[in-house]
């Protein structure tokens, strides 16, 4: 049925806060969900988004958890400038080349009133910068240039710094959270005396990311190494965590880079070793961004809206009263206050939705759209029976329980939800790793089933590029736990000693 997207759009938006079905148009489902759930919206600036309070509070939860993990592994936060002088930016050649095409550049520092157009401003041609400033697409340049001043001896090492910041990459095509021109992220930048220590740091932070993805986001990931062509510009080795979305497309959720001595050499960062020798410093960098929000949304949510893992939900429990009179509401509120207090005491965020402007059904739908893990409903019947209705967002199951059991039951329920959405995502992910032996199979799986395709590859960039060209699939990673196994490249037939994961990706 050749309905245009415009037609589909008409159908649901006129109905209020409904979103299109995932299996009809996954991409439209995602876009509408982000907007309708109050996570983010497009701004006046092309490719840039406004993260709304509800969306931002999820991001803050992510930040808190990650920040703690960084601190627990010995890192400290710092802040470096938004602007990078062009001469610094170009110092590490590969890095500069890699990002050159998507840099925003500041060329002037002043506006003036436009004599030709009343009330308008124009760039003051007199105020041209002597040296242009690049708006950071990443901060290695400015940071390594700074580290040069901080490091003289092995005693100054290691430096274990992280910064929470915004960066700008002038993307041609953007999508809310998944790829925006400006995005928020954290970038860790560490400096070490030995290669071994730097590699250990790189892997350690990859483990931190994997741990965060799995135990907080409830999103299983595959740890792996990128191929040469997918490597971070300027890095020796790029490690990643790859996740699987519900539409069978892969998403890179975090990266950790072993920089070798590349940036040290480019910025002349040397240290005197214990033995009195002058050596180049070893480096790492690692980051995750607001893209994780996109991953979180696409990993769990359904046609009724967001499904949030309790560990990242801004509101754990919403309580909806069902009442006819003020009198009734008052009685219900007394009970609700007791429950709320008991839950808050245990550290949960509780929302009592006592608006008298909306009916319960409306509230149920709205909080489901926003992904609140647990909903309690209390009405006159419950007052009589000393009960409360408990509903879980992930499965939509409802049960009625005794009021005095609630404060003990809710924590168990939240734990169960956290586990069960992880298990569901894990099940989906595992079902979508398909081993293939031939190129025809690889293409067939990509087209008909999606997901990761595990196949032998001859290790050459030519084969990788050819497969990408023909199938739109890229090598997502060489899994860290890959086992050596003799085989033949699905494309070239040349010998291969391990399988890699192919997928179409975000």
Chain centroid to Cα 168, Å, comes to 16
Q: Of the two residues 156 and 304, which places its CB atom closer to RNA in the complex?
A: 304
C-beta of 369: minimal distance to RNA in Å?
A: 6
C-beta of 204: minimal distance to RNA in Å?
A: 19
Q: Of the two residues 237 and 366, which places its CB atom closer to RNA in the complex?
A: 366
| Alpha-carbon span 136 to 105, nearest angstrom | 9
| Alpha-carbon span 253 to 244, nearest angstrom | 10
CB 137 within 8 A of CB 92: no
Q: Of the two residues 68 and 101, which places its CB atom closer to RNA in the complex?
A: 101
C-beta of 118: minimal distance to RNA in Å?
A: 12
Give the residues lining the site for RNA (CB under 7 A): 5-6, 9-10, 13-14, 16-18, 27, 31, 42, 44-47, 98, 101-102, 169, 171-175, 178-179, 183, 230, 232-233, 252, 255, 289, 291, 304, 322-325, 356-362, 364-366, 368-369, 377-383, 389, 391, 396, 398, 472
Q: In this structure, how many other beta carbons lie within 10 angstroms of the beta carbon of residue 173?
A: 6
Q: Cα torsion for 63, 68, 69, 74, to the nearest 10°? A: 130
Alpha carbon separation from 354 to 150, 332, 360, 363, 403 (Å, rounded): 56, 10, 10, 10, 18
Which tokens is 183 given? 């995005």
C-beta of 439: minimal distance to RNA in Å?
A: 19
Q: Of the two residues 28 and 426, which places its CB atom closer to RNA in the complex?
A: 28
DSSP 255-307: EEEEEETHHHHHHT-EEE-TTS-EEEPEEEEEEEETHHHHHHHHHH-BTTB--
C-beta of 432: minimal distance to RNA in Å?
A: 20
Q: Of the two residues 381 and 402, which places its CB atom closer to RNA in the complex?
A: 381
C-beta of 142: minimal distance to RNA in Å?
A: 17
CB 34 within 8 A of CB 368: no
C-beta of 150: minimal distance to RNA in Å?
A: 26
Q: Of the two residues 257 and 311, which places its CB atom closer to RNA in the complex?
A: 257
Alpha carbon separation from 130 to 127, 183, 330, 478 (Å, rounded): 9, 28, 68, 45
C-beta of 468: minimal distance to RNA in Å?
A: 8
Q: How, if at all, do strands 474-479 and 387-392 pair?
A: unpaired
Beta bridge partners of 40: 51
Q: Of the two residues 158 and 321, which places its CB atom closer to RNA in the complex?
A: 321
Q: Of the two residues 10 and 423, which places its CB atom closer to RNA in the complex?
A: 10
């Amino acid at each position: 049925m050749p309905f245009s997207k415009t037609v589909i759009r008409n159908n649901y938006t006129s109905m209020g806060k409904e979103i299109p079905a995932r299996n009809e148009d996954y991409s439209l489902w995602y876009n509408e969900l982000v907007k309708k759930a109050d996570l983010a919206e497009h701004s006046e600036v092309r490719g840039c988004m406004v993260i709304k309070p509800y969306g931002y509070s999820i991001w803050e939860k992510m930040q808190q958890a990650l920040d703690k993990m960084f601190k627990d592994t010995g890192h400290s936060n710092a802040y470096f400038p938004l602007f990078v002088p062009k001469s610094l930016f170009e110092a590490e050649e590969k890095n500069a080349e890699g990002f050159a095409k998507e840099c925003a550049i500041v060329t002037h520092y002043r506006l003036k009133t436009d004599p030709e157009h009343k009330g308008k401003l124009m760039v003051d041609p007199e105020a041209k910068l002597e040296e242009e400033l690049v708006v950071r697409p990443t901060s290695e340049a400015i940071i390594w240039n700074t580290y040069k001043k901080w490091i003289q001896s092995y005693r100054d090492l290691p430096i274990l710094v992280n910064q929470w910041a915004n960066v700008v990459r002038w993307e041609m095509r953007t999508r809310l959270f998944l790829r925006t021109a400006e995005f928020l992220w954290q970038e860790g930048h560490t400096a070490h005396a030995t290669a071994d220590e730097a590699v250990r740091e790189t892997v350690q932070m990859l483990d931190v990311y994997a741990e965060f993805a799995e135990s907080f986001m409830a999103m299983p990931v595959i740890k792996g190494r990128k191929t040469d062509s997918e490597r971070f510009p300027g890095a020796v080795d790029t490690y990643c965590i790859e996740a699987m979305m519900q539409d069978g497309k892969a998403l890179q959720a975090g990266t950790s880079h072993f920089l070798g001595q590349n940036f040290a050499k480019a910025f002349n960062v040397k240290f005197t070793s214990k033995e009195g020798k002058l050596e180049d410093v070893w480096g790492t960098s690692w980051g995750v961004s607001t893209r994780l929000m996109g991953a979180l949304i696409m990993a769990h949510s359904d046609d009724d809206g967001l499904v949030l893992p309790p560990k990242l939900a801004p509101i754990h429990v919403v309580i909806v009263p069902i009442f006819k009179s003020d009198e009734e509401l008052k009685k219900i509120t007394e009970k609700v206050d007791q429950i709320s207090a008991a839950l808050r005491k245990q550290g949960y965020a509780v929302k009592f939705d006592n608006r008298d402007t909306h009916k319960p059904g409306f509230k149920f739908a709205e909080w489901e759209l926003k992904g609140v893990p647990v909903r309690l409903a209390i009405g006159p019947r419950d007052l009589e029976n000393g009960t409360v209705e408990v509903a879980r967002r992930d499965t939509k199951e409802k049960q009625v329980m005794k009021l005095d059991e609630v404060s003990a039951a809710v924590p168990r329920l939240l734990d169960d939800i956290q586990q069960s959405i992880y298990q569901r995502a894990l099940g989906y992910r595992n079902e979508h790793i398909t081993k293939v032996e031939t190129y025809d199979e690889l293409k067939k799986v990509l087209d008909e089933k999606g997901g990761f395709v595990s196949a032998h590859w001859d290790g050459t960039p030519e084969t990788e590029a050819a497969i990408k060209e023909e199938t739109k699939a890229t090598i997502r990673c060489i899994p860290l736990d890959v086992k050596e196994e003799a085989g033949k490249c699905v494309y070239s037939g040349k010998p291969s000693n391990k399988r890699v994961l192919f997928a179409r990706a975000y």
